[in-house]
Chain A
């Protein structure tokens, strides 16, 4: 459980971080909270020669609550997502989801940017951000571009981010007033990734539904959202069950996961409906 040797860099602005990444190509990896990357390094499943720590870059640690959108810096820790009152007002579903990630120790280190950039289908934030139709700001040698969360995930650990790009901000549109919301996660124990998790937003004539750890990417299902918008809960569940593609692992066989997925989704819908103003 000892990682291979590496060079450690701690730039203080995004441009220098991007420059270091550019210099070392795929030898370099960004280090955020380290709670996905360092375990991989300890298992020697990852052995980057250069680690570029983003913790010295102050601008990545901000949360801005705008009228139309909330902007969250990539280095905001999951703990800070929970603690931020303004964010809890604007998007309470983020607090509900963040509280279900790992445990307090992990949450005080792990960041939203790391959780989103990691590309692990077990991470909770990607599905949530797809549900919320967030956009990710990526900064690379050629400047900044934005990618929709719903376009970002290609397969397990593969995303639209280039090796020399840094995810800097997450732009989350504010849902319409009175929308109902819920993040429901079924897991084996505290500190576990989801057996099945569901993010649900719904309101007058709209609904958005995404699920986590039931395919090699998060699953945002347009048809499920459409059915739910029309008030058809079972249609929503059926559409989602079509869209997911879980794999057997220690959490259980495929049939169980589908059953648990349906249960998680129904719970999330029920809670979101109850919360709708």
Chain B
């Protein structure tokens, strides 16, 4: 078939543009072991750095004796806070407006904190030398409970700011208090609660966990003393922001810094922040004049870089007796660990937790979040969710279930009568957001029908009878969740990180032969950007996706952008891609008009070409136009065919979904099995359905892990109890259920292609679905709230407390 004989549909299909289940172009390299990760970077003369870490959660550092380590042949340097202090680098700013010790400055605040940085000829020597550094500690009282941390006589954790009454986000009312963040109308909400027919109050804990990507964090810093140029390869989810931060804290001019994110083996938020390892590697490279590599091991990753969640959410919900929700009140005690290193947009110290009214039309609401220091690792990143959105979704989806219990109503029906209706969009929520679009009722009804919800409830009723009659020891839980995400941060008017507006960018160059390269300010960590962004371009430009290279992650070549997290790549950089493509198309139209000797307005776009209106045989394909851009002298037009777009989104996007989980639970052993999982996602326009399904499968599996066992747990002394993968739950294929995915399509009205982002939805919606299934199994026996994770013994404890063990 030639160009001439193909129908427009066939031509469109051959582009593999939007909507196509295009195979991931990345996988050829990845499945052949040809990826290039930071640990694959090997430079001549490269040294290896490793940390001496604190075994204590709270202690004064009395002395550090590095003589024996320095005497070990092959050890080049041992850095301590004393060495960094003259450079002003013993502390560094955090993304949350706090500061964090790079190396222990007189004391340590969490187990695993960085105390000294050993630099040696290879990683084996570095590990040996770490053992030889003698640190004398004086133990201090430990506080791991955020409520105890706020008691008047609680130990002072942050002596550096103990008298500071004002923090980055307003007044501090206690030496371990970080901020108070309020949203909504307190008085009105109190009034609604006082006057309501029905109210429910409950404490809901979303436990501390960790993103735990397959590849841990690391970097290679290389200071070229001859050129004065610093190059840092690293696992950075936001390479440009890292460049600016490095410049600001080191004083090295920004043009002399090049940040490269090579292939990244998963991020999930773990690789957004700046870590002491980066600073120490850079300093060590400057001091030694040699490249320095630092790579975390798994235990270090779990103990020290960026945890997630750890929110104690006290909720009150009000409703009429027939189930109309009239008000929502929430107070969060947010455990931030020893330093406030949350990765949130600057003005949002609790992220977008104020999306906690969820999918419901709740007229009145109030939210208050208190951030607290404890002797735990810093972090608080958005682990596969937009900022604090999974906490919010879990909170509201539990509160709705609790209300259903109180009202003795079916939880699916209660949701249905409270959903924001289709015609209410754009919808202004009581806590300040403007939801762009949604059709929750259609999605919900489709989901319930797909799983035969009524049939499941009948089966559950029979099961309860059988259980009571002693015929089975297994209960059946039906877990429902309808979530609304808020992603695509975000509008520069209210979203910035360290003052950098959260726009994103795309630069496109069309080559003379009609193929192209696009560079973006984002960075894929497994999301498949090289595949999907090429598809957007293919549809916008009429160039086959296979003829388009997508490149990200090198700050010397890519346009400035804020990186990839919070499902922002498609909503923001994807929009920039479409907008840049449209600039190219506008110029292409002028070129085509000149070639065809007609007026611009006489042309119309047809898949991959401009056609003269009313004369379909007269056209110029994008390929022909591209060549003309480089070989014709067109009056009034510059040669070449390139464009760049910096996109500042007018609003966030609000993906949503309806999930149903059916779980079998053994009341004696706490063993569980997910029998069925149905996930309907509405992420607006679907760029690549296969990639969406893959993202949903992955996100649901992480949600399963979190709900059913994954946890960073501490004992009273602040020791990490779950520091290896033996105890930190990562599901294998064996534990992973079969997922059924489905969708509706409600495009975003303000996004150039209507896409909303999907990578994190399954985690946001999945956690409540799994947890609600556990709760639902025991609802008939009186369970109200049982905190996650629902590992075997905690499920056993539910049954024990309900008297189900006889």
Residues of A within 8 A of B (CB): 1-2, 4-5, 44, 103, 186, 188-193, 195, 250-253, 255-256, 259-260, 262-264
- Which residues of B are found within 8 Å of A186, using beta-carbon distances? 669, 671, 792
Decide: A5 and B735 in contact? CB cutoff 8 A.
no
A186–B116 alpha-carbon span in the complex (Å) = 42
Decide: A256 and B796 in contact? CB cutoff 8 A.
yes
Find the A residue at minimum CB distance from B298.
A1
A168: min CB distance to chain B, Å: 30
Chain B positions 767-806 with a Cβ under 8 Å from a chain A Cβ: 791-794, 796-797, 800, 805
Asked whether B742 is an interface residue with its Cβ less than 8 Å from the other chain, the reply is no
The 8 closest A-B pairs by CB, nearest first: A252-B793, A2-B127, A1-B297, A256-B793, A190-B734, A263-B668, A190-B732, A250-B727
- Which residues of A are found within 8 Å of B713, using beta-carbon distances? 250
Task: State how many residues of chain B have any CB contact under 8 Å with chain A.
Answer: 32
A100: min CB distance to chain B, Å: 12
Decide: A195 and B792 in contact? CB cutoff 8 A.
yes
- Which residues of A are found within 8 Å of B794, using beta-carbon distances? 252
Known contacts A192-B726, A263-B669; is A256 also within 8 Å of B797 by CB? yes
Asked whether B729 is an interface residue with its Cβ less than 8 Å from the other chain, the reply is yes
Contact with A along B293-324 (1 / 0, CB 8 A): 00001110000000000000000000000000
Decide: A189 and B709 in contact? CB cutoff 8 A.
yes
- 7 inter-chain pairs at a CB distance below 8 angstroms, sorted by A residue, are A188-B791, A189-B731, A195-B669, A250-B713, A250-B722, A252-B794, A260-B670
A17–B297 alpha-carbon span in the complex (Å) = 34
A263–B795 alpha-carbon span in the complex (Å) = 15
Find the A residue at minimum CB distance from B729.
A189
Chain B positions 746-761 with a Cβ under 8 Å from a chain A Cβ: none
A121–B666 alpha-carbon span in the complex (Å) = 26
Decide: B668 and A260 in contact? CB cutoff 8 A.
yes
- Which residues of B are found within 8 Å of A193, using beta-carbon distances? 726
Asked whether B128 is an interface residue with its Cβ less than 8 Å from the other chain, the reply is yes
B302: min CB distance to chain A, Å: 12
A sample of 19 more A-B contacts (CB under 8 A), given A186-B669, A190-B734, A252-B793, is A1-B298, A2-B124, A5-B124, A188-B729, A188-B791, A189-B731, A189-B732, A189-B734, A195-B669, A250-B727, A252-B796, A256-B670, A256-B797, A256-B800, A259-B669, A259-B796, A259-B805, A260-B669, A260-B796
B496: min CB distance to chain A, Å: 38
- Which residues of B are found within 8 Å of A192, using beta-carbon distances? 726
- Which residues of A are found within 8 Å of B734, using beta-carbon distances? 189-190
A151–B131 alpha-carbon span in the complex (Å) = 38
Asked whether B721 is an interface residue with its Cβ less than 8 Å from the other chain, the reply is yes
Decide: A191 and B668 in contact? CB cutoff 8 A.
no
Known contacts A188-B729, A190-B734; is A2 also within 8 Å of B796 by CB? no
Decide: B793 and A189 in contact? CB cutoff 8 A.
no
Which of B124, B722, B735, B796 has the most chain A CB atoms closer than 10 A to its own CB? B796
A271: min CB distance to chain B, Å: 15
A37: min CB distance to chain B, Å: 16
A5–B666 alpha-carbon span in the complex (Å) = 47
Decide: B128 and A4 in contact? CB cutoff 8 A.
yes
A135: min CB distance to chain B, Å: 31
- Which residues of B are found within 8 Å of A191, using beta-carbon distances? 726, 732
Asked whether B123 is an interface residue with its Cβ less than 8 Å from the other chain, the reply is yes
- Which residues of B are found within 8 Å of A1, using beta-carbon distances? 297-299
B483: min CB distance to chain A, Å: 26
A223–B774 alpha-carbon span in the complex (Å) = 38
A254: min CB distance to chain B, Å: 10
- Which residues of A are found within 8 Å of B729, using beta-carbon distances? 188-189
Find the A residue at minimum CB distance from B705.
A189
- Which residues of A are found within 8 Å of B668, using beta-carbon distances? 259-260, 262-263
B44: min CB distance to chain A, Å: 23
Known contacts A4-B128, A44-B131, A250-B722; is A190 also within 8 Å of B735 by CB? yes
- Which residues of A are found within 8 Å of B727, using beta-carbon distances? 250
A41: min CB distance to chain B, Å: 11
A188–B734 alpha-carbon span in the complex (Å) = 11
A183–B69 alpha-carbon span in the complex (Å) = 50
Decide: B726 and A5 in contact? CB cutoff 8 A.
no
Decide: B797 and A189 in contact? CB cutoff 8 A.
no
- Which residues of B are found within 8 Å of A189, using beta-carbon distances? 709, 729, 731-732, 734-735
B360: min CB distance to chain A, Å: 35
Which of A4, A189, A190, A192 has the most chain B CB atoms closer than 10 A to its own CB? A189
Which of B127, B713, B721 has the most chain A CB atoms closer than 10 A to its own CB? B127
B711: min CB distance to chain A, Å: 9
Find the A residue at minimum CB distance from B727.
A250
A263–B792 alpha-carbon span in the complex (Å) = 13
B767: min CB distance to chain A, Å: 18
Known contacts A2-B124, A189-B734, A190-B732; is A251 also within 8 Å of B669 by CB? no
